[in-house]
A and B are shown apart, each in its own frame.
Chain A
Amino acid sequence: MKAEDLKNNKEYKYGFTTEIENIKSPKGLSEETVKFISNIKKEPKWMLEWRLKAFNRLKVLKEPNWQKPKYPKINYQDLYYYSAPKSASEKPKSLDEIDPKILETYKKLGIPLDEQKRLNGIAVDAVFDSVSVATTFKDELTKKGIIFCSISEAIQKYPELVKKYLGSVIPLSDHYFATLNSAVFTDGSFVYIPPNTKCPMELSTYFRINASETGQFERTLIIADKGSYVSYLEGCTAPMRDENQLHAANVELIALDDAEIKYSTVQNWYPGDEKGVGGIYNFVTKRGACRGKNSKISWTQVETGSAITWKYPSCILQGDNSVGEFYSIAITNNFQKADTGTKMIHLGKNTKSKIISKGISAGNADNMYRGLVEIKNKAINSRNYTQCDSLLMGNKCGAHTIPYIKNGNATSTIEHEATTTKINEEQLYYCNQRGLDQEEAVSLIVNGFCKEVLQQLPMEFAVEAQKLVAISLEGSVG
């Protein structure tokens, strides 16, 4: 231990004699890397121990391989686990240096030029830094006792809350990527809503997404105390150029008695080009625990980006009368692959869950809904309704549905419906006849197909999501 402490100290020193912007952690995954990250974030000892426990666990875990989309082996020793933003010289200096295709997309999304600059990291990073943005609203939130800060800050300022809830929904040793995240996560958001408080605004990570290169192992923890409500938005409605291959975030939600958490995601990471080169692997673990009675957790996701999306936002319905919801749109085009869905685990009495999943597949893409609905023996009078619809465009793509259904008592009902169809040609014809071109018509019909999910999104998000749906499918009909 002595020797190690010494070593820590050395690294620690190293960390603080250098400008943060220039720091990179040692290459590869090692105990040193874990300590380096913990040190540079000035974490307390318990946090480092927690990380090391995860790291030790990781040594015996294997990467899962049951998923449908296969990916080339990731060399974990070849990655940097902490790296500050790149220096200005490495960034595009003006919009001229940015891929014109991305600019075209921005134009369609109606994102103003300044915003475009910021999204590309041309504008000053500091303005876009998460903490400072959060402070804009801090007064209003603080008045209500709401805590909204980075997880790093929370570890320093609210260690009791973090200690109590971190890893309580996604255990340290849950599975390979979750454990990896636990060992090396760099930052993320922390939200605590005190009892009987309705959060007055949508909380969002939208503003701080430009911390891109360090964001590959995000960790988010949201706690809604008794009788509280929060709506949280994650993501970005413009595609990010990000050279990180692997994103393995962990998101944990905890809803206590009578509390409600609404979590919406619009994911539009770089999907790779038309030939399937490049793109992000989005392997995210999202899980919510309806811990209290009458609590509710609702996941809404619009997944249009990433080369591979592999995630199952889930609900553990522990409290009696608790409710879990999952609304999803997954669009895959070109060579994109998605393996996504949800798990609804019913433990409490009179628990309800609802799953609406819309998968759209075009080009050479593969789109999979995979889900589990399990009603345990003691979860009497529980209900699930699941609807999975897939839309195929062309015969080079695939649509797959694998629901696992387990009903363990006589008073509970599970209903599952799924359909797979092609885009309705008569509807297309009708639209064409009324003067819409093929792409407009497809966009209209697909948006109709997704309506139930889009309706779940907060207004301003929904509008952009609709445009995104259209853009994602460009060139898919010919």
Chain B
Amino acid sequence: MKQYYDFKIEKIKGLSQEEIDSRKKNLELFYKNGFPNKKDEDWKFSDLNKILSNNFNNISNNDYLFKEKNFKQIHEFEHNFISLFNGQIISSDFSYEEKNKISLKVFNYKNEKNLDKKNSLNLLNHALASGGFSLEISKNYKLKKPIVIYNNFSNSLNETIVNYKNSIIINENSELNLINYIDNSSKENFMVNTIENIKMRKNSSLNNILINNSKCNGYFYKYTKNDLEKNSNLKNYLILSGLKFNKLDIEINLNEKDSKSSVFSALNLVKNEHQEIKTRINHNAPHCHSYQKVKKVLNNESKGVYQGKIFVKNIAQKTDAYQLSGALILDDAAEFDAKPELEIYADDVKCSHGSSSGSVDLNSIHYLKSRGIPEREAYELLINGFLSEILEKMQESELKNFLIKKLERQINEH
């Protein structure tokens, strides 16, 4: 296979010799493995090496300079924001909040040495990352408005990869609604490789929402590691239709009693879009809950993948874990792959998973038609209902309405 990438650490400025050495080691290891392929169990259904080699000629990295500062803001609800261009902080605004409750810094790479031999994209990130942010919310603070992170990408990224790391800490008794917003409609091929570490202290709560706004030619990979302390509550909403390729690799560690996590995802894929959601929920402590509902509608030649693992440690008694993945396949050329996995070492648990894939239920269509609804609308209604179900339990708010509208648009535009 042709070599379709060329990465150089020298392109990243302002590194100490020690950092350069450490990054070089990571890059060497990456070169040994290359981009992950289907022989790698974690990439069994998404052969990234093949996908990239078919779509890129020579991916390189850069120390990204940016001139753009303008971006389209969301008007539907009031919010704080952090604006990133190619992963670098450009501006931020927390004017709805009390001072000194929110800390935002550029991510500090000084102490990052991690050599993750298993995940070659993490190796690449360790080698090439720059920019990114560290966000910390003080104790006992409930944000009045959500924070939107505008993930902007400049229009000069063709054949390049953007790597960065983020860190988010939510301290005791604090609450945050976080919206990761992607809005890019450039026709250029580029790649984004992100690592995010989220720490949730006691009794904290986070709604972590990932939403995409336009058709984007980018190839995205994001690895998120979430560590939850006692009685914390993490909810993930993944509404990312429109990306050419996307893989979210979510690890959630329920490390202390009574912590809760959920993953809700709704994707409507068209053309040859390919998205994978991979989760690993580690129940490391007793009395924790996890809930997952991952839904996909697959049109044309698209491919939807779900790999979800629930791991229950032997001390994690009274675990309650649930996982559901469903796909509506609307086209013979579309494909759905799933690997819902349970690995359980404690006996007093309630764990279950279900997966179903197939076409739209024709009896439901008949029922709707018998009430006078034309066939096309009946399908739309069912697809909409199928996907929007993931938002059902969310508290009523402007934000929820915004998400419902975005999801509807993602469905109806196709």
Contact = CB atoms under 8 A, between A and B. Distances in A.
Q: Find out whether A and B make contact in their complex, taking CB atoms under 8 A apart as touching.
A: yes
Interface of A: 66, 377, 380, 390, 392-422
Contacts of B343: 398, 400
B348 interface: yes
B357 A420 contact: no
Contacts of B347: 392-395, 397, 422
Nearest to A404: B339
Interface in B309-363: 314-315, 317, 327, 329-359
Given A410-B329, A415-B356, A401 B342 contact: yes
Contacts of B353: 401, 416-418
Contacts of A397: 345, 347
B contact residues, range: 35 or more
Q: Which of A380, A407, A409 has the most CB of B within 10 A?
A: A407
Contact of A405 (B317, B348, B355): B355
Given A396-B314, A399-B344, A407-B336, A414 B349 contact: no
Given A392-B344, A405-B337, A406-B337, A421 B350 contact: yes
B344 A413 contact: no
Q: Which of A404, A416, A420 has the most CB of B within 10 A?
A: A420
Please report whether the interface of chain B is mostly helix, strand, loop or mixed according to DSSP: strand
Contacts of B330: 410
B357 A400 contact: no
Contacts of B358: 407, 412-415
In the A-B complex, list the 10 residue pairs whose CB atoms are closest, starting with the nearest: A413-B358, A392-B347, A405-B338, A422-B347, A416-B355, A401-B342, A419-B352, A420-B351, A407-B357, A409-B332
B163 to A, nearest CB: 31
Q: Which of B338, B347, B353, B355 has the most CB of A within 10 A?
A: B347
A415 to B, nearest CB: 5
B352 A410 contact: no
Given A412-B358, A413-B356, A420-B349, A395 B340 contact: no
A377 B332 CA distance: 7
Nearest to A375: B357
Nearest to A416: B355
A131 B315 CA distance: 54
A410 B357 CA distance: 9
Nearest to A383: B358
Given A407-B336, A416-B340, 10 more contacts: A377-B333, A390-B344, A392-B344, A400-B341, A400-B344, A405-B336, A407-B329, A409-B329, A410-B329, A412-B358
Please report whether the interface of chain A is mostly helix, strand, loop or mixed according to DSSP: strand
A271 to B, nearest CB: 20
B128 to A, nearest CB: 31
Interface in B96-136: none
A411 B341 contact: no
Contacts of B348: 395, 422
Given A414-B358, A418-B353, A420-B351, A402 B335 contact: no
B340 A420 contact: no
A397 to B, nearest CB: 7
B345 A398 contact: yes
A408 B341 contact: no
A56 B353 CA distance: 44
B332 A410 contact: yes
Nearest to B332: A409
A296 to B, nearest CB: 22
Contacts of A392: 344, 346-347, 349
Nearest to B346: A395
Given A413-B356, A414-B356, A419 B339 contact: no
B277 to A, nearest CB: 14
Given A412-B358, A413-B359, A422-B347, A390 B342 contact: yes
A398 B335 CA distance: 32
B352 A417 contact: yes
Contacts of B341: 400-403
B47 to A, nearest CB: 14
Contacts of B350: 421
B291 to A, nearest CB: 15
Given A401-B341, A406-B335, A414 B355 contact: yes
B357 A418 contact: no
Contacts of A398: 343-345
Nearest to B304: A407
A411 B352 CA distance: 26
Nearest to A411: B359
A400 B336 CA distance: 22
B347 to A, nearest CB: 4
22 contacts: A377-B333, A390-B344, A392-B346, A395-B315, A395-B317, A400-B342, A404-B44, A405-B336, A405-B339, A405-B357, A406-B45, A406-B337, A407-B329, A409-B329, A410-B330, A411-B359, A412-B358, A415-B356, A416-B354, A416-B356, A417-B352, A418-B352
Nearest to A385: B356
Contact of A417 (B332, B345, B354, B359): B354
Contacts of B357: 405, 407, 413-414
A156 to B, nearest CB: 43
Contacts of A401: 340-342, 353
Contact of A415 (B41, B45, B339, B355): B355
Contacts of A395: 314-315, 317, 345-348
A379 B346 CA distance: 40
A418 B342 contact: yes
Contacts of A404: 44, 337-339
A410 B347 CA distance: 38
Contacts of B340: 401, 403, 405, 416, 418
Q: Which of B44, B350, B356, B358 has the most CB of A within 10 A?
A: B358
Contacts of B359: 410-413
Contacts of A410: 329-332, 334, 359
A411 B334 CA distance: 11
Nearest to B323: A418
